[in-house]
Amino acid sequence: MNLQNPKKFKLLIDQAHEVALNVLRPISRKYDKAEHTYPKELDMLSSLVDGMNEGGDGMNAGAAVNKRGDTQTGNKNGVNMSTALSIVEMCYGDTGLLLSMPRQGLGNSAIAAVANDEQLERFNGTWAAMAITEPNCGSDSAAIRTTAVKDGDDYILNGEKIFVTSGERADSVVVWATLDKDLGRAAIKSFVVPKGSMGMTVERLEHKLGIKASDTATIRFIDCRVPAINLLGNTEIDVAKGFAGVMETFDNTRPLVAAMAVGCAKASLERIKEIFKDQLDANYSTPYLQTTHIEAQIYRLEAEWEAARLLMLKAAWMADNKQPNSREASIAKAKAGRVSNEVTLKCVELASSLGYNEDELLEKWARDSKILDIFEGTQQIQQLIIARRELGKSSSELK
């Protein structure tokens, strides 16, 4: 079992690392203080990323989940793996700036997961946000109330979405809506709604604890007309399949969110080790029970971080190799989100006053990490999904 990063991605990882250090870190505090200001430096960077992606596996905010079932032999490390490894390094630089990257939105992952071949080609190059969460809906994605009613060659959307990452800046928004409330989960579909569509209004931008470089919007849809061809994937309501179609999106995105958490925690761990370098055994030759309290805490955090990293890699590898990874994606996301929170906060604590002031980025990484245990399904939701998979229970049997 080879636990090293695939050698073919070394150049990609090195490039992402250099971008993190030389592009993202220098402007990190600037856009943390200038909330809702678009980081114009990302325009040039996103063009470079687009160029890298055209050459093959790169940092694509989307992967080939919908291609499962294709004949394939051997072991493949593809776009899921390369994207996850790139994201780790970019979030080592700044998580909020990574979330602000053009054409790398979570909606792009939804398109990659659910869209048919014609839609994949038509929406290629778009920057897509993803709108799922609603007021009073909480973490139950199946309880959404935004409606989509067929009207000729269009659907008419009505409803409100909150906490939409890049909701104001993106070219389009992937909106989850129900075709028939009486049919429950099976009737939920996702629609690509272009920016500026009549009836679509960005109501406000949220002020947040962290990831302030990223815009987080509330969007209202009032009789918003969307072409029927913008309904992603299968238009039929399959009660037997239920919610599985749109939920494939999360099989795509949860390993990527886990990668964000791994990258953010990596930044804090490296900085705290640098601060205490004179007190740490670089070769790990001192028996654990003979280490100081600070050494023991840092070594424990490193072990937790490594476990999260390996779980993330497993979920991404399974997606590349066309293996159903819903359980593993939730495990990776739950572990990495929780570990990132713990690592970043503990590093602030260990660094004392140095970690708490704005001369260091430690306090910012601690604030940024909190969202990584919340969005794309909270810690509690991930544990519920894992329990269902382990026990073989449906969502109606285990709530």
pLDDT tens digits along 56-99: 566 765 544 444 445 566 788 988 899 999 999 999 999 999 99
Report the catalytic residues: 376
* Total residues found in the chain within this entry: 399
More confident residue, 2 or 198: 198
Structure tokens at 180: 């028939």
DSSP annotation of 166: T
Q: Is-contact 69 246, C-beta < 8 A? A: no
CATH 1.20.140.10 fits 244-391, yes or no: yes
Tell me, yes or no, if the two domains 7-122 and 128-230 fold the same way.
no
Q: Give the C-alpha separation, 68 to 251, whole Å.
A: 12
What percentage of the chain exceeds 70 in pLDDT? 91
Helix (H) or strand (E) holding 216: strand 216-227
Q: Is the pTM of this model over 0.85?
A: yes
- What is the average pLDDT across 287-310? 95
Structure tokens at 319: 């997606």
CATH 1.10.760.10 fits 7-122, yes or no: no
Using alpha carbons, list the distances in angstroms from residue 84 to 12, 102, 232, 324.
Answer: 11, 17, 24, 17
Distant-in-sequence, close-in-space partners of 385: CB < 8 Å, separation ≥ 6:
326, 327, 330, 377
Q: Give the C-alpha separation, 214 to 202, whole Å.
A: 15
The CATH code of the domain at 128-230 is 2.40.110.10
Domain boundaries defined on the chain = 7-122, 128-230, 244-391
